[in-house]
Chain A
């Protein structure tokens, strides 16, 4: 095949039923591949496009579905170029597909299959369109050969090939077998112009909607392998603590208990394989495992972090910030800006540790066999799952099958695969398929928490109150804690994004970081550091505006200035256009009657933010009555480029609204004596219907730009829009999250 130069390499082949199957890979060449896993051997789930002789169109959903809608939107992209009726398409979740070339390098078999950083749609956009278009091209070629007419004389109409000169028509299924025998076209086929889209850009419902509402959809907790046993693990409640001794006599007497398996804790200072030392109880049912676990007697060594508390961490931050921090950005001359300022203002903001708390706690099924392994897991990182099984067992990567169920929420928690590691270790010990089930207590007490942080912002202002210099200092325990190959001087990188505004909007901008010590494992939580930074920056801008009597919207628009493309090297770049941020702010303001006079005790706040290529803004309306907060209305606007599935863009904005509210109102993880104090939803109180605004509106900017992700951009601006509204209603500035009972006085 003459396709060595093509960056994207398409694979085609026959399905078992003689239809056409087509995959697409970003790298690699089939002729020298020495093996793969996740390719069709039997039911050919791994193929992106499958057309059976009876005309059925089956499209693979390559990426994990955790509620962000990619099981619908990615197949929509393929279906568009393939030119089929969306209603006729069946969508199937694909397993992890990887392959090895003759040099031993592993690569994706089809497309990248993770879910993180809001990249599924933006990265899949081009290759998935090419996959659909190539399949269509092969079908056209097969029809042209069969009918003896030039391919140019043929067209397609939603699953049908048409020869308009003769009026001849036939369904795709008739040519599926012939098409599968054809060589791939040497140049990528022409893609549709966006004006011709009839699936992309149309609101489509969730593909699994019926299965979900009837209880048939499969999640990790529902997965089962034949002969499986059930495991539950009692883990050390202290970070890096260990098991001194344990007594399992009572546990072994619980009917149904099969085995007790000690799990070694993570090596100090190494990245986490599992999160904690513990004792696993293996039984013939979930309840027996839980009962056996309750009967264990374990003595823990509390380890090196047993003195840590929320208060001690805060003291550490305050003490550190008395000194200058590590300067990670230094544009212009902030010192000169302070010296020449007509006015100056400084404020501190705090965000706490929070937990991901997906509704489905961690769980998975792993079977380690002599010659391979099977993993069925709700994971955002199927390749991470494959790697950890390989590391723990030594099994070849290509002998490890990883199947993804739907995820009962992810939010970044399932980028880590510690629970897969645990199930693997237990399966190795008991030599059977092991279904591991975490309780809610396990899940809240053992997480890769979103870092807490103390932000100090300072601005110099001119006579009119416009900013001339800006400094942002942040003290936090970095998400990069214990990551391999991260130098201490790079710990700031996931916490402060150097290119975020107001960089390049103001001449003098400085950012400083203070890396804090904490034994708490940290990880990516929806939009990572954008949540905290947007809260600090968008609150501060509101404070600056009010300080000199300016309207907060006008003040921010003046700061953003004209539309233009500024370089943006952090994730979500390569450009940041302040005009697009101004655009969502103006849109949301117009839709929410910004500037309208409100009765006493009511207030309206605005905030916007750029996250991972997407621009989002909210106007929040609140009533605060005798310290009781009611969120009356949230109006949102998003510019995510082309909205592949507007229905899910709206759903993700609604999700950002409620997740934003939930996290701002009450959620925090606190520590005392080295232990996390929250252990279920009674003391980690996420928002309920009582907290939900009665009116939630979303407006999507009609944008000429290619699609960005939409999973993360919607969350960051919510909290500051809410606290800015509280300020408008009460004059009380919320600088610490969660809001909790700060309004009660």
Chain B
């Protein structure tokens, strides 16, 4: 039995220890937003956050997450859309959309550490692959998400600024 926190709630998995977290999420927890793309840690379609860091769920055995905290795409914006999700909608990034959960989990995490991203940062940290070729809009959406986050931050510091409230 492996127990971990999944999108804020405790989850028990009663299967083989070597089951990749990806298939635990998809087949057992009913959370299908996390996708399978390569099963080899390359494409990032299966990106989730483990204790706040982006990890490839397809190569993470469930035993490795015992006692840890997992956030999936379903949990990211559960209360309210995350700025990255909002930016993805505003820039209309998705084509087939299959890779986008992984892209969003990817961006949402590193933007926390790099709040004012440059092109170089995007090329370095946004490693999830997109077969449809949405990279131009992913780039724009990351800049926009950074902007949304900044505005949010400004709103806290200077609540009277009318621009910041919008």
Contact = CB atoms under 8 A, between A and B. Distances in A.
Q: Which 10 residue pairs of A and B lie closest in terms of their CB atoms, listed nearest first? A: A215-B33, A658-B133, A408-B98, A67-B96, A67-B95, A215-B73, A692-B135, A212-B97, A222-B32, A696-B136
A657 B136 contact: yes
Contacts of A66: 96
Contacts of A658: 130, 132-136
A360 B20 CA distance: 18
B92 A206 contact: yes
B129 interface: yes
5 contacts: A221-B32, A287-B23, A287-B27, A407-B96, A689-B126
Interface stretch (B39-47, B49-57, B149-157, B158-166): B39-47
Contacts of B72: 215
Given A215-B74, A689-B126, A361 B36 contact: yes
Residue of A209, A358, A662, A680 contacting most chain B CB atoms (<10 Å): A209
Interface stretch (A161-169, A331-339, A548-556, A648-656): A648-656
A215 B139 CA distance: 20
B32 A209 contact: no
Residue of B28, B34, B89, B98 contacting most chain A CB atoms (<10 Å): B98
A485 interface: no
A34 B19 CA distance: 50
A205 B20 CA distance: 35
B130 A359 contact: yes
A132 to B, nearest CB: 24
Interface of A: 65-69, 205-206, 208-210, 212-219, 221-222, 230, 255, 285-287, 291, 357-361, 406-411, 437, 439-440, 647, 651, 654-659, 661-662, 680-682, 686-690, 692-694, 696
B65 interface: no
Given A208-B94, A409-B98, A213 B23 contact: no
Given A206-B94, A230-B27, A214 B40 contact: no
A407 B123 CA distance: 27
Nearest to B72: A215
Interface in B101-143: 101, 104, 119, 122-124, 126-127, 129-139
B94 A213 contact: yes
B95 A689 contact: no
B16 A287 contact: yes
B16 A688 contact: no
Contacts of B96: 65-67, 358-360, 406-410
Given A647-B92, A686-B131, A694-B139, A408 B35 contact: yes
A285 B98 contact: no
Interface string B58-85: 0000000000000011100100010001
A681 B36 contact: no
Residue of B92, B96, B100, B127 contacting most chain A CB atoms (<10 Å): B96
Contacts of B39: 439-440, 680
Nearest to A661: B133
B148 interface: no
Contacts of B6: none
B140 to A, nearest CB: 10
Contacts of A218: 32
A359 B137 CA distance: 18
A291 B97 CA distance: 29
Nearest to A72: B92
B98 A219 contact: yes
B97 A655 contact: no
Contact of B31 (A215, A291, A410, A440): A215
Contacts, number: 184
B89 A213 contact: yes
A213 B135 contact: no
B23 A694 contact: no
Contact of A358 (B89, B92, B131, B139): B131
Nearest to A212: B97
A656 B23 contact: no
Contact of B97 (A406, A654, A662): A406
A66 B97 CA distance: 9
Contacts of B88: 209, 213
Contacts of A205: 89, 92
A287 B98 contact: no
Contacts of B81: 213-214
Contacts of A221: 26, 32, 35-36
A651 B101 CA distance: 19
Given A360-B98, A662-B133, A681-B42, A689 B74 contact: no
Residue of B16, B77, B122, B130 contacting most chain A CB atoms (<10 Å): B130
A285 B28 contact: yes
Interface residues of B, number: 56
Contacts of A406: 96-98
Contacts of A409: 96, 98, 131-132
Contacts of A689: 122-123, 126-127, 135, 138-139
B134 A655 contact: yes
B31 to A, nearest CB: 7
B143 to A, nearest CB: 11
Contact of A359 (B45, B122, B139): B45
B136 A692 contact: yes
Nearest to B26: A286
Nearest to B74: A215
A214 to B, nearest CB: 6
Contacts of A694: 119, 139
Contacts of B34: 215
Contacts of A661: 133
B92 A209 contact: yes
Contacts of B45: 359
Contacts of B97: 67, 206, 208, 212, 217, 406, 408
Contacts of B131: 357-359, 409, 411, 659, 686
Contact of B104 (A213, A219, A696): A213
A208 B101 CA distance: 13
A262 B85 CA distance: 44
Nearest to B42: A681
Contacts of A210: 89
Contacts of B139: 689, 692, 694
Contacts of B98: 219, 358-360, 406, 408-409
Contacts of B146: none
B40 A440 contact: yes
A287 B132 CA distance: 28
A184 B32 CA distance: 44
A214 B138 contact: no
Contacts of B92: 205-206, 209, 647, 651
Contacts of A693: 136
Contact of B133 (A214, A439, A687): A687
A440 B88 CA distance: 27
A654 B130 CA distance: 12
Given A654-B136, A689-B123, A689-B127, A213 B16 contact: no
Contact of A215 (B20, B101, B124, B138): B101
Nearest to B96: A67
A219 B101 CA distance: 13
Contacts of B124: 690
Contact of B132 (A213, A214, A285, A359): A359
Given A213-B100, A285-B15, A681-B40, 19 more contacts: A213-B94, A221-B32, A222-B32, A286-B26, A287-B27, A358-B98, A359-B37, A360-B37, A410-B96, A651-B95, A651-B137, A654-B136, A657-B136, A659-B131, A680-B38, A681-B37, A689-B122, A689-B123, A692-B135
A732 B27 CA distance: 52
A209 B136 CA distance: 17
A657 B122 contact: no
Nearest to A679: B40
A203 B99 CA distance: 23
A366 to B, nearest CB: 18
A651 B126 CA distance: 20
Contact of A680 (B40, B122, B136): B40
